[in-house]
């Protein structure tokens, strides 16, 4: 998606660029899948900065029928119990309904503050968007791609932008009747994965979850699970969470971090 935007800026001719994806939707911001996509629906008080008695900003995915601001929202908020902000400079909005992030809200390139590229954007630019198509073979000699369905796609130049892949783990299942691909084991890479996790979370209210991984995705997913009243345990091989990020640097710094 970001590459398509750059090609469009550089004046790519209509009909000369195609994007092939095995997913069913146009390119989107994957970081949302471990954040707002997993948030529960909720109602809460919100406190919005005022400018001449009007909100300085607004939120999206808000039910107009329950919003005192008549649905004038452009971004999603998550509300936590006990959050309060009292000031004469803030406008109080009661019982505002906040929904989790959903498409088309986070198509690229909103993650960088750019234009949201909806499917029609690609059509307007003459960029072919070929979805639900998995490429399984590339014949470099003939410059031909072969899909899982047997379709052939000729190309002049090829850019492989599949991103990272999930690290599959080997699980020793204690229960002999349970398989490692059981319905209660989830990975998080694509929007379909996130949808399965959302449904499982709804079905297991006040349940328990084990999150494997202590990096950004593991921490964000764990936080989202807690917001859904799921009891979460995190498992990771490092001595602390976010060890690959700034944990050791902070520990070695001369800054004293006081416990809450």
Please state, in angstroms and rounded to a whole number, the distance separating the CA atoms of residues 153 and 211: 40
Residue 26: name the closest of 134, 103, 115 by CA: 103
Mean pLDDT for the chain overall: 79
| 178 — pLDDT class (breaks 50, 70, 90) | low
| 141 — pLDDT class (breaks 50, 70, 90) | very high
Residue 73: the pLDDT is: 32
Residue 28: name the closest of 153, 193, 149, 181 by CA: 193
Identify whether the C-beta of residue 21 lies closer than 8 Å to the C-beta of residue 27. yes
pLDDT at 231 over 90: yes
Identify whether the C-beta of residue 173 lies closer than 8 Å to the C-beta of residue 179. yes
pTM equals 0.74
Listed by start position, the domains of the chain span: 41-98, 135-163
| 175 — pLDDT class (breaks 50, 70, 90) | low
Residue 181: the pLDDT is: 57
- 252 vs 81, residue with greater confidence: 252
Identify whether the C-beta of residue 139 lies closer than 8 Å to the C-beta of residue 27. no
The size of the chain, in residues, is 260
CA distances from 93 to 51, 56, 76, 82, 130 (A): 15, 13, 15, 15, 43
Average pLDDT, integer, range 124-151: 98
Average pLDDT, integer, range 186-194: 95
Residue 105: name the closest of 42, 205, 178, 32 by CA: 32
Average pLDDT, integer, range 200-228: 92
């Amino acid at each position: 998606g970001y590459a398509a935007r750059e090609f469009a800026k550089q004046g790519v001719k209509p009909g000369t660029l195609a994007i092939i994806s095995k997913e069913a939707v146009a390119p989107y911001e994957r970081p949302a899948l471990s954040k707002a996509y997993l948030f529960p629906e909720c109602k809460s008080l919100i406190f919005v900065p005022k400018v001449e008695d009007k909100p300085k900003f607004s939120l999206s995915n808000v039910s107009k029928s329950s919003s005192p601001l008549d649905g004038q929202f452009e971004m999603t908020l998550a509300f936590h119990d006990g959050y309060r902000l009292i000031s004469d400079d803030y406008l109080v909005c009661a019982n505002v309904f906040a929904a989790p992030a959903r498409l088309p809200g986070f198509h690229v390139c909103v993650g960088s503050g750019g234009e949201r590229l909806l499917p029609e954007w690609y059509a307007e630019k003459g960029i072919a968007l070929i979805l639900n198509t998995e490429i399984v073979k590339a014949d470099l000699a003939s410059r031909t791609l072969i899909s899982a369905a047997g379709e052939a796609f000729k190309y002049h130049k090829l850019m492989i932008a599949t991103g990272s892949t999930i690290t599959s783990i080997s699980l020793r299942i204690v229960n002999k009747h349970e398989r490692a691909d059981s319905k209660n084991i989830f990975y998080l890479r694509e929007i379909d994965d996130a949808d399965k996790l959302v449904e499982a979370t709804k079905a297991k209210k006040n349940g328990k979850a084990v999150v494997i991984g202590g990096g950004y995705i593991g921490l964000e997913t764990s936080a989202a699970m807690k917001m859904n009243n799921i009891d979460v345990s995190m498992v990771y091989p490092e001595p602390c969470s976010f060890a690959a990020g700034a944990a050791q640097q902070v520990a070695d710094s001369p800054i004293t971090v006081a416990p809450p």
